[in-house]
Amino acid sequence: MNYIFYFLIVISIVVGAINGRLPDVVNSILTGAELSVKVAFSLIGIMAFWLGMMKVAQKCGLVELIAKLIKPLTKRLFNEIPENSPAIGDIAMNFSANALGLTNAATPIGIKAMEELQKENIDKTSASNSMCMLLGMNTAGFQLIPATVIAVLIGIGYKNPTEIIAPTLIVTTIAFVSAIILAKIFQKFWAPQIPTLTKRITKDEVKV
């Protein structure tokens, strides 16, 4: 990605110099840099607020409540893992963070959920069905409130940033449901291979 951005910047400067509009290119670079700082600072407040809310929800037991509420769903979607697995709580937090549009916060929670699912995974050399399902759901990114996008729109001075909520909800819902359906379909074609355990018998163990 760094190479792509470097290539775009160099090409912009070269084309601007050829067309005699190099000052415009330089001004655009400086204006864009200033705008990026403003957007970054606008993200701090909303990210700090929602991350704090997630921490409070975790401490007061709301995450456990959410995990219990979605337990019937998780039992069907993640039928390979035990009902009392810590992964269920992590999946609930990951789903909640994505639903609130906190994709940056959802990433470390999703990694933690993957680590818990790996502990339940029989074949450690490949991803289990539950891991693939979580990856598909996390990538689809179902969002009730696209908080990060709203913060970016506020940072760039957009007049009505909340109008993106309805389109985002429709698109992410379709993507979320599609990811679940496709994951379930592919599970029927690529069943997990359970490794067989073999024991090597040494000469000392052979009874004559």
Residue 116 burial (CB count, 10 A): 18
Which range of 96-105, 107-116, 186-195 scores highest in mean pLDDT? It is 107-116
**Residue 24 amino acid letter:** D
Query: Angle 165-189/129-140 helices, nearest 10 degrees?
Result: 160
pTM of the model: 0.61
Predicted confidence (pLDDT) per residue in 21-57, tens digit: 888 888 887 887 777 777 777 777 777 776 777 678 7
Predicted confidence (pLDDT) per residue in 7-28, tens digit: 888 888 888 888 888 888 888 8
| C-beta of residue 43 within 8 angstroms of C-beta of residue 155 | yes
| CA 168 – CA 153 distance, rounded (Å) | 14
| C-beta of residue 105 within 8 angstroms of C-beta of residue 97 | yes
| CA 172 – CA 176 distance, rounded (Å) | 6
